[in-house]
């Protein structure tokens, strides 16, 4: 490896010789002195060079080298990658971290053109065209370090609690959720394959296989033509499924512990940076999260003066914001489980509570937007067939799925959660496009 010191480690080093590598963020080319802000994945540092603007007639090779260095710095373009050796000096007058490096040698490893194609204030769409430059912004880099910490904390929580990680196939012979919004492709002699819209089928199959508790973080695909800030044609789904539950309450209890573990790790590792870059004081959510049955949630929203226009009984996005505002005002909580949805607005495989006639299911709303649907699944195959028929579905077309239930399966349930939605809402961003490494939508397939 290049014998470089990461910028974040410089402050702890004694004054003296040092090598750093990174890219040029800014150049201030003053007459007498030149400053370069060099950034790497860990931070930014000021490089300094006393300018040599012309040579005396009797100038020796040292002066010539000084002139060449000055000219090299004058010619630096933003975004060029450099390796620089020099003298590290602690100096509290330097605003950027109280250190600077006096340049001895400078090597341009990869030069960028003089004019960068985007600026920090370019439109979102233009920034996404140049995502690999857009991601150099420290705020955007931070998003993916937070994502790393969040996912690792979740996986650690699952592993510590005896879950098995599975990788479900994304190529399927039949749709996993609905026949709408399906991507399909030619598949050898077998005809058509479909891209998985969720790992739903296979998570349940793992329960029939006796895996007990499983998780997966993986891409799913929806041929969804919508252009909202919350939808994508490919996104990362965070999924878990557990056996031997009594109700969806067991799933909610698992999910809220998982979320709290993730937030705890993020607050501990990135709390200061999040405050600095996003102006947000992130806190670990208290357990348990508030729970409100849907019919109560609708009453609360109505009492707040908002009339939900949709007639199917579900909340709409404004309804979600209203119930979240109520929960924030009443309980000071950013999360709320809305529970007990009627069968009409839930898929056929959600279990129905015989006492209420409502499904044993929930949505989780975070800062006003839905991030999860969870449920106890119906595991009794004859009830499942009945519920499919009640939805106008032909059990024949569901044979691939129903087969999992014919050879014994324990009671089970789980949830699916959109990773980008969690990050968007955690960091107060306006769109999942900002927190997705490379967004995919109906009009975006590159870079």
Binding-site residues for L-aspartate: 177, 222, 373, 377
Report the residue number, 88 or 251, with the smaller CB distance to a second copy. Answer: 251
Tokens coding 106: 């400078």
The reply on whether position 81 binds a second copy by CB under 8 A is: yes
Of positions 212, 285, 288, 293, contacts a second copy by CB under 8 A? 212
Q: How many CB atoms lie within 10 A of CB 2?
A: 8
The reply on whether position 154 binds a second copy by CB under 8 A is: no
Distances in whole angstroms, Cα of residue 297 to Cα of each of 58, 229, 357, 370: 85, 24, 18, 14
CA neighbours within 13 Å on the CB side: how many for 337?
23
Of positions 50, 75, 225, 397, contacts a second copy by CB under 8 A? 225
The reply on whether position 227 binds a second copy by CB under 8 A is: no
| Helix/strand/coil for 109 | strand
Minimum CB separation from a second copy for residue 372, in Å?
A: 18
Where in 325-384 is the site for a second copy (CB under 8 A)?
379-380
Where in 274-333 is the site for a second copy (CB under 8 A)?
none
Report the residue number, 215 or 341, with the smaller CB distance to a second copy. Answer: 215
Report the residue number, 218 or 316, with the smaller CB distance to a second copy. Answer: 218
The reply on whether position 147 binds a second copy by CB under 8 A is: yes
Report the residue number, 110 or 311, with the smaller CB distance to a second copy. Answer: 110
Pairing of β 412-418 and β 369-377:
antiparallel
Of positions 180, 302, 390, 437, contacts a second copy by CB under 8 A? 437
Size of the site for a second copy (CB under 8 A): 105
CB 79 within 8 A of CB 23: yes
The reply on whether position 139 binds a second copy by CB under 8 A is: no
Q: SS3 for 169-188, per residue?
A: CCEECCCCCCCCCCCEEEEH
The reply on whether position 430 binds a second copy by CB under 8 A is: no
Annotated binding site: 177, 222, 370, 373, 377, 418-421
Where in 405-424 is the site for a second copy (CB under 8 A)?
405-411, 419
Report d(CA 387, CA 383) in Å as an integer. Answer: 6
Report d(CA 42, CA 147) in Å as an integer. Answer: 16
Of positions 30, 54, 95, 188, contacts a second copy by CB under 8 A? 188
The reply on whether position 75 binds a second copy by CB under 8 A is: no
Report d(CA 80, CA 205) in Å as an integer. Answer: 51
Annotated binding site for ATP: 370, 418-421
The reply on whether position 22 binds a second copy by CB under 8 A is: yes
The reply on whether position 443 binds a second copy by CB under 8 A is: yes
Tokens coding 155: 């996986």
List the 369-377 sheet strands across, edge first.
164-165, 213-221, 234-243, 412-418, 369-377, 361-366, 335-339, 291-293
b/e sequence 371-380, b meaning 16+ C-beta within 10 Å: bbbbbbbbbe
Where in 246-275 is the site for a second copy (CB under 8 A)?
246, 250
Of positions 52, 70, 168, 322, contacts a second copy by CB under 8 A? 168
Pairing of β 164-165 and β 99-110:
unpaired
Minimum CB separation from a second copy for residue 225, in Å?
A: 7
b/e sequence 42-59, b meaning 16+ C-beta within 10 Å: bbbbbbbbebbeeeeeee
Report d(CA 298, CA 292) in Å as an integer. Answer: 10
- Looking at 276-284, 314-322, 332-340, 434-442, which segment touches a second copy (CB under 8 A)? 434-442
Of positions 33, 59, 119, 159, contacts a second copy by CB under 8 A? 159
């Amino acid at each position: 490896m290049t014998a470089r010191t990461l910028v974040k480690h410089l402050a702890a080093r004694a004054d003296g010789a040092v090598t750093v590598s990174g890219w040029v963020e800014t150049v201030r080319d003053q007459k007498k002195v030149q400053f370069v802000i060099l950034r790497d994945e860990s931070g930014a540092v000021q490089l300094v060079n006393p300018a040599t603007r012309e040579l005396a007639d009797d100038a020796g090779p040292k002066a010539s080298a000084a002139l060449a260095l000055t000219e090299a710095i004058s010619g630096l373009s933003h975004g060029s990658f450099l390796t620089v050796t020099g003298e590290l000096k602690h100096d509290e007058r330097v605003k950027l971290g109280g250190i600077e490096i006096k340049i001895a040698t400078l090597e341009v490893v990869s030069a960028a053109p003089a004019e960068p194609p985007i600026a920090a204030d370019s439109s979102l769409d233009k920034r996404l065209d140049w995502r690999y430059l857009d991601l150099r912004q420290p705020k955007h880099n931070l998003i993916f370090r937070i994502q790393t910490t969040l996912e690792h904390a979740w996986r650690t929580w699952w592993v510590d609690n005896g879950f098995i990680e599975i990788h479900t196939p994304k190529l399927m012979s039949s749709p996993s959720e609905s026949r709408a919004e399906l991507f399909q492709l030619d598949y050898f002699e077998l005809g058509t394959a479909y891209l998985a819209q969720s790992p739903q089928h296979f998570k349940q199959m793992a329960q029939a296989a006796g895996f007990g508790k499983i998780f997966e973080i993986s891409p799913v695909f929806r041929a969804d033509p919508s252009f909202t800030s919350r939808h994508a044609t490919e996104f990362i789904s965070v999924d878990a499924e557990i056996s031997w539950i009594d109700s969806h309450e067991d799933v909610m209890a698992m999910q809220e512990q998982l979320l709290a573990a993730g937030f705890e790790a993020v607050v501990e590792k990135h709390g200061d940076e999040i405050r600095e870059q996003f102006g947000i004081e992130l806190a670990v959510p208290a357990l348990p999260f508030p729970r409100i049955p849907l019919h109560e949630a609708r009453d609360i929203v109505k009492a707040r003066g908002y009339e939900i226009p949709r007639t199917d009984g579900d909340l709409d996005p404004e309804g979600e914001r209203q119930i979240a505002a109520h929960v924030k005002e009443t309980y000071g909580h950013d999360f709320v489980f809305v529970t007990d949805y009627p069968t009409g607005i839930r898929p056929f495989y959600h279990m129905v509570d015989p006492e209420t006639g409502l499904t044993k299911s929930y949505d989780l709303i975070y800062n006003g937007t839905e991030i999860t649907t969870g449920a106890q699944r119906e595991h009794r195959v004859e009830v499942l067939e009945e519920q499919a028929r009640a939805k106008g579905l032909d059990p024949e077309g569901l044979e691939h799925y129903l087969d999992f239930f014919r050879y014994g399966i324990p009671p089970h349930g789980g949830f699916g959660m959109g990773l980008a939605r969690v990050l968007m809402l955690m960091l107060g961003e306006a769109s999942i496009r900002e927190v997705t490494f490379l967004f995919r939508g109906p009009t975006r397939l590159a870079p």
